[in-house]
A and B are shown apart, each in its own frame.
Chain A
């Protein structure tokens, strides 16, 4: 009877398309919104992810998240280097600066000052130029999204497209000249601001004047040492906070979760998507069953058992769930692929998200199947003669 169940469903093309469209829309909402949420949250700690080498981030104890750098005295770097178990420790400046565009507009950008000697903390993917060129005078490397976007030069033609920055272009940062020596690919930041890489020493001249300029000390532990033990030693001996990259990411994520309504807003949309999906799908599927109720009564009269009819309805529900979810996931995947890498709206698609939404869709179709089964189970076969 499986084939009969499928032909009953697929033969009613309008209703079938209505049901899978409902499930597909619910799937899109339940995958896309959390996907965007994950993408937004991952941007909050994207810089920690990009700076992959250090085991420990040393910072002022008052720091709450990655962009909340509380400058330390430069001497903290030397104190950290003196802690037992530290393989190396390098300074990092992280702060904001302003770039003056050709039309006079000031664009706030993230500035990263890397250790002059090692350039640790620099971008992993250089699209144009070389990381080592940062040692040239006045040199900076710009992230790709910034070079094509907010730092792009105004079009020479009125109304034309902005011209992306390229190697050799000059910028004015905090009234000082800077020359672009490279274009790099970096994970977009929470604020989607351009990222400017330069050396720690030069960052001090570009940055807005402050007495203390050391944002973070990046630490690599010796192979024979455990990271938590060295972190505890740094805390004890310097009075600074020392966190593993993972701890720092979690701390940053928690800050944004607690201090913004992003999770609530996106969570609300996901819940609405689930409820609307369940309601629409349940209603259409239930109506489909009601329309076929007479035939289910005929099957009952002809000797179909309750289990057989339940199996038919369940098969129909699972098919529409599978196809609807596949369509929804497919559309969302295309959206994810199109928006990947930009600084604008983007989403992260992972297996946990797909599994979660698949379970949600399964719950929706099982709910739809259950209310339909209930109706069929209560059906008296004698109605065939009415």
Chain B
């Protein structure tokens, strides 16, 4: 499945999701259709409670939709056995969180190494590759620092290194700059965009932060569980160029 010369990283069609039941039922998604091509940086924006986080969770394979289908690189992982699905996620998806979620008792290098360790790489090799990733995000020399010894921007760069260390095909980011000041947020976005450059990886970012919209190739606006419109804000036609 491709769009032009770019393969589809994510293909969502008719996704619905509700939480609760009866009087307490909340319809989070009401039939979302969305395609993300490899090499694209897509931002999901919208007011609180519009369903952004639910959609990104379904795209990342950590939440099941009620209806519709969501294909990742042409594969519907809902049909995978639970263990295969977990392994697929470990190999192909990277995560960046709003609150970094770095383990406070591990060094920066050990935090970055976690996806590799989960995928069965030995500690020595994982740390070596983690160190290389840390250097790429500008944190050479801080490999042995604990998260508490790093600034917010540095911690988010460690989180970016962790999301990319195993070369995933899809990176999902939840409000990656909301805990950072403007200048630091821009630097983090530059790092994220710079390292995501390539034709074989897609980035989906959920954000409220209008200051970083300019980094997006396309922006999907959501409201009340639907995508109301999509802006192609980047003149490159929605594809990140090296």
A residues lining the B interface (CB < 8 Å): 1, 3-4, 7-8, 10-12, 294-295, 298-305, 308, 380-382, 384-386
Q: Which residue of A lies closest to B162 (CB)?
A: A302
Stretch among B82-90, B137-145, B187-195 lining the A interface:
B82-90
Nearest-Cβ distance from residue B112 to partner chain A, whole angstroms: 12
Is chain A's interface secondary structure helix, strand, loop, or mixed overall?
A: helix
B43 within 8 A of partner (CB): no
B residues near A381, Cβ cutoff 8 Å: 62
Known: A1-B117, A4-B117, A303-B91. A384 touches B110 (CB 8 A): no
Q: Is A308's CB under 8 angstroms from B101's CB?
A: no
Q: Is B117's CB under 8 angstroms from A10's CB?
A: no
Known: A302-B90, A305-B86. A384 touches B97 (CB 8 A): yes
19 CB-based A-B contacts, threshold 8 Å: A3-B123, A10-B105, A11-B104, A11-B105, A300-B62, A302-B89, A302-B114, A302-B115, A303-B86, A303-B87, A303-B88, A303-B90, A303-B93, A304-B86, A305-B83, A308-B118, A380-B62, A382-B63, A385-B206
Q: Is B105's CB under 8 angstroms from A299's CB?
A: no
B residues near A303, Cβ cutoff 8 Å: 86-91, 93, 115, 118-119
Size of the chain B interface, CB-CB below 8 angstroms: 30
Given contacts A302-B118, A385-B56, 11 further A-B contacts (CB under 8 A): A1-B114, A1-B117, A3-B123, A8-B103, A8-B105, A11-B104, A298-B95, A301-B60, A303-B115, A303-B118, A308-B118
B residues near A4, Cβ cutoff 8 Å: 103, 106, 110, 114, 117
B residues near A300, Cβ cutoff 8 Å: 62, 86
A residues near B88, Cβ cutoff 8 Å: 303
Q: How many A-B residue pairs have CB under 8 A?
A: 77
B residues lining the A interface (CB < 8 Å): 53, 56-57, 60, 62-63, 83, 86-91, 93, 95, 97, 101, 103-106, 110, 114-115, 117-119, 123, 174, 206
Q: Is A301's CB under 8 angstroms from B89's CB?
A: yes
Q: Is B114's CB under 8 angstroms from A299's CB?
A: yes
Known: A4-B114, A304-B118, A305-B83. A384 touches B91 (CB 8 A): no
Nearest-Cβ distance from residue A4 to partner chain B, whole angstroms: 6
